[in-house]
């Protein structure tokens, strides 16, 4: 993985033959080799956690979630039911990823981020029309930003600290810190007020 302009850029080629084994930690759970699970982690039924994944203490993984090779889930974070987390994704602490989200390869999610249900993060503007040297570039979600349900975040987009993406938005340009954006394509409509910042709710 390379960092360029604060964004995670990753070329990944996970081993599809990496072994998965049943585990008695949850009904139907499959675990890959070298998975690290912190103290107090709760895992739902029929989740699949691939090789080299690290899950921090107190995190929660929902039913039927899939966490791919080498991903990192921070302490106290939630990966909801039917969420798919691609290889090498880094998710910070106290992050909430709701049901049926797709967290694409190359994504970095900082601490205290909220991702609403059905959000799609993308990493390939060519839609598979590229050579083997192509580097996938996932979005960067900065600390305490919030992404509303059903939104789509385009490749390489940065959503700024404490920004707010309204439900159903298509985000094709970087979102400034504390900006509230909505629409297709998403546009800035106002600033997140002081009363709505995370520090007021902790």
pLDDT digits (tens, 9 = 90+) for 24-40: 999 999 999 999 999 99
Range of the domain at 55: 35-128+135-201
- Which strands make up the sheet holding 140-141, listed edge to edge? 36-37, 54-55, 72-73, 90-91, 108-109, 140-141, 158-159
Domain count, the chain: 1
pLDDT digits (tens, 9 = 90+) for 50-95: 999 999 999 999 999 999 999 999 999 999 999 999 999 999 999 9
18 within some domain: no
pLDDT digits (tens, 9 = 90+) for 47-59: 999 999 999 999 9
Q: What's the pLDDT at 11?
A: 53
150 within some domain: yes
Q: What's the pLDDT at 10?
A: 52
Burial 182-191 (b: 16+ CB within 10 A, else e): beeebeeeee
Local confidence band at 119 (pLDDT 50, 70, 90 cut-offs): very high
Rounded Cα–Cα distance for residues 61 and 183 (Å): 31
Rounded Cα–Cα distance for residues 181 and 183 (Å): 7
CA triple 64-68-71, angle to 5 deg = 115
CATH code of 50's domain: 2.160.10.10
Separation of CA 172 from chain center: 17
20 within some domain: no
14 within some domain: no
């Amino acid at each position: 993985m390379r960092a360029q302009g604060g964004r995670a850029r990753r070329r990944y080629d996970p081993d599809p033959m990496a072994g998965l084994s049943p585990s008695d930690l949850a009904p139907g759970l499959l675990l890959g080799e070298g998975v690290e699970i912190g103290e107090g982690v709760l895992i739902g039924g029929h989740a699949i956690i691939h090789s080299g994944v690290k899950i921090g203490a107190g995190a929660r993984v929902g039913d039927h979630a899939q966490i791919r090779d080498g991903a990192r889930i921070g302490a106290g974070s939630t990966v909801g039911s039917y969420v798919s987390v691609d290889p090498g994704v880094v998710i910070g602490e106290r992050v909430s990823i709701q049901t049926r989200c797709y967290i694409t390869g190359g994504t970095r999610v900082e601490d205290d981020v909220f991702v609403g249900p059905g959000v799609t993060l993308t990493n390939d503007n060519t839609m598979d029309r590229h050579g083997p040297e192509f580097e996938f570039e996932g979005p960067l979600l900065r600390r305490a930003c919030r992404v509303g349900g059903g939104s789509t975040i385009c490749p390489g987009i940065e959503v700024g600290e404490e920004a707010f993406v309204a439900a159903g938005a298509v985000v094709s340009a970087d979102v400034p810190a504390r900006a509230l954006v909505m629409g297709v394509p998403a546009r800035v409509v106002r600033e997140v007020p002081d009363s709505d910042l995370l520090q007021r709710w902790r």
